[in-house]
A and B are shown apart, each in its own frame.
Chain A
Amino acid sequence: MTTENPRLDIDRIIDDRRMRIIVCCGSGGVGKTTTAAAIGLRAAERGRQVCVLTVDPARRLAQSMGLSSLDNTPRLVDGIDDEAGGSLHAMMLDMKRTFDEIVEAHADPARAAQILANPFYQSLSSSFSGTQEYMAMEKLGQLRRSDEWDLIVVDTPPSRSALDFLDAPERLGRFLDGRLIRILTAPVKAGRPFGRVLNAGFSVMTGALTRLLGAQVLRDAQTFITAFDTMFGGFRERADATYRLLQTPGTSFVVIATPEPDALREASYFVERLAEERMPLAGLILNRVHSAGANRLSAARSLAAAETLEAASAQDGTAPSSSDGYPAALLTAAALRLHAERMNLGRREQRVAGSFMSTHPAVPVMEVPALPEDVHDLAGLRRIGGSFA
């Protein structure tokens, strides 16, 4: 693909010992998880002590790294080339388990048990839309602080928008900050700073919520907030610290997209947002790009040649034939049509990618060709990593 954009050099990033975190982000279905694993493997085989943190529960990925399953603890991946002294661990985020561990670490046993049993906590820790992102951030912070690995490759949760990874922790934080919850769950007292008018307004709303959800739900929320109150400060601080860590030069964001309009639109939003947040962008990996071997033969000429062959063969059958008797002219015509289709697809992908690149001319870009098969093993991951070279 012809482009003015600089080429994204993944090897330079993974060979830079000061680089400690690589975040792979992008919208759903673009191959983030596989790319993260391929980067992790390549870095490990180039001598880094790597941990890949994934949030994708696809068993296939675990299997491709020779693990029967991934869980909330980093597991050593066997079978990598460790000649350069590197190692590879992989783990999958269990957001509920991670949340539970924070609660257990920050509250005395009795209070922790009370929180863990609370129905409101249970739905928050397993279902709130921001919890997964928040816990991914928390886990990343834990891995980084442990200092057992010199490079952590993290794959972001499969959300509707790539931006959720940056926004959701803030949203959960705001939510747990609990001013709103407190106002809603506390009985309306006289003389509160918000004044009587607001209080009246809130009681209407509390009433509305009670009617919607039932009183028990609000009582559970109130109990949870009371119990959670004391540990909240530390909770928030840690998330903030991890967020700041992402702004340091030891972090690189790699945005992943397929050459499709939706995926590249998300990539665009993300690139712009990273700049606003002063977070270090390494570049864009354009994944699953189609190309044709005979790329100097255009679709138009290829189709014209196919038509010529078909017409000639229909007319007199004088076209050269192959040894086994199948008319080579027709086979060749079919191959030319196939080639034209691939050229058209490739040209469309170039056009779509081109609009991203002309909007972001300074963003380094690298292409990974489309493979006919999914990745099943380390060799498959290594092959993807090979296209980073």
Chain B
Amino acid sequence: MTARDTDWDGVRLHVVTGKGGTGKTTVAAALALALAHAGRKVLLIEAEGRQGIARLFDRPPLPYEERKIAIGPGEANDGRDPGGDVYALAIDPEGALLDYLQMFYGMRSAGVALNKLGMVDFATTIAPGLADVLVTGKATEATRRKQPGSASGFTYDAVVLDAPPTGRVGRFLNVSAEVSGLAKVGPVRTHADTVANVIKSPQTAVHFVCTLEEMPVQETLDGIAEIRSVPGMQVGGIVVNMSRPAVLSRQELKAPPDLAAMAAALGSAGLYDTGPLAAALAEEISEHARYIELADRERSELEATGQPIYELPLIAEGIDLAALHKLAAELRDQGAA
């Protein structure tokens, strides 16, 4: 196995959150691909039942079952790094409750009946943190699961959790405090404590996905502050997604373009109607300059947190499997995996 330092070497559970619309699921999937190399096995978990992972990997909807969906890239073409495997699991609270009842009490059939009656709704309402603790419980269980004979001793070398959006992630992860408000004793409380032991440990990191716009950046800063306020919890990296390339240098963007010279250049390249075209392009440059200026400002706010920042390009053609691999390679090159 090739040894290679990454920013998150000790981390086995990667929680990925972000504001809606920033591409959280895409980044989680790319991170899972990036981690799957050198024979490593990675589990990618979707916590919110949108089947976004299945769509990204162009697969039919995922059942409540861990199944292999992709092969990670090898490091080199000489066969020394055979790549790795990405498994995926879509979790819903119902499935997680049945799983829990079966695992701890052997009560699956009672659970099925509960579910039919809408009892899961009932149970999760009585204890609002219950659904969360069941979902995070499944993720931590997969993280801790042992497999004798594997290189690491664990079934999965890493688990990537596509978590709820930034606004809710603190509550989602700080499960034990939430449940304890209602269930002071009993098995759920014990379960919540076990989950918290994994989440509030150095083997878990919470990564934030955002775009370089005001609201997503503000939410990211708020989210980071929230995670930092919980003792034991670790903030991971910030993934700036859909970043648009700065085609021109900051200097070039500042200077007002010489329209006549531009028009002449356009003419020499064989284009027509060069006067209006130069004016339109100049307007596009100045809009781009405004965008870059804003993005720089937002980036420096993110840098002030001191967390590692990874920047992924906007893929104008849309996200397909090839694009996911490209993003995964970016994450690896920048040291995120």
Could you list which residues of chain A lie within 8 angstroms of chain B, going by C-beta atoms? Answer: 27-30, 58, 60, 119-120, 123-124, 126-128, 158, 160, 171, 174-175, 180-181, 184, 201, 204-205, 208-209, 211-214, 216-218, 221, 258, 260-263, 292-294, 297, 301, 305-306, 308-309, 312, 319-324, 326, 328-329, 331-339, 341-342, 344-345, 348, 352, 372-374
Contacts and interface: CB of A to CB of B under 8 A. Distances in A.
B122 A181 contact: yes
A205 B110 contact: yes
Interface string B316-329: 11100000000000
Contact of A180 (B119, B186, B270): B119
Contact of A294 (B110, B126, B261, B280): B280
Contacts of B121: 171, 175
B318 A348 contact: yes
Contacts of B187: 211-212
A29 B29 CA distance: 20
B59 to A, nearest CB: 16
A328 B52 CA distance: 45
A324 B255 contact: yes
Given A213-B127, A217-B183, A334-B248, A297 B107 contact: no
Contacts of B281: 293-294, 332, 335-336, 338-339
A309 B184 contact: no
18 contacts: A123-B182, A124-B125, A128-B125, A212-B183, A212-B188, A213-B188, A214-B182, A221-B126, A308-B268, A319-B268, A320-B261, A331-B252, A333-B265, A334-B247, A334-B252, A335-B284, A348-B316, A348-B317
A152 B130 CA distance: 36
A213 B248 contact: no
B215 A212 contact: no
Contact of A341 (B244, B258, B283): B244
A212 B265 contact: no
Contacts of B265: 309, 319-320, 328-329, 331-333
Contacts of B123: 209, 212-213
B183 A213 contact: yes
Given A29-B21, A160-B50, A331-B257, 20 more contacts: A184-B122, A204-B113, A205-B113, A209-B123, A211-B187, A213-B130, A217-B127, A293-B281, A319-B268, A321-B261, A322-B261, A331-B265, A332-B265, A335-B247, A336-B281, A338-B281, A338-B288, A344-B317, A345-B316, A374-B213
Residue among B22, B184, B269 with max Cβ neighbours from chain A (10 Å): B269
The 8 closest A-B pairs by CB, nearest first: A29-B21, A28-B20, A29-B20, A127-B128, A328-B261, A322-B258, A294-B280, A305-B269
Contacts of A217: 126-127, 182-183
Interface of B: 19-22, 48, 50, 52, 101, 105, 107, 110-111, 113-114, 117-119, 121-123, 125-128, 130, 165, 167, 181-189, 213-215, 218, 244-245, 247-248, 252, 255, 257-258, 261-262, 264-266, 268-271, 277-278, 280-285, 287-288, 290-291, 294, 314, 316-318
Contacts of B247: 334-335, 337-338, 341
Contacts of B261: 320-323, 328, 332
B110 A324 contact: no
B284 A293 contact: yes
A205 B21 CA distance: 40
Contact of B266 (A305, A348, A352): A305
B49 to A, nearest CB: 8
Contacts of B269: 305-306, 308-309, 312, 332, 336
Contacts of A180: 117-119, 122
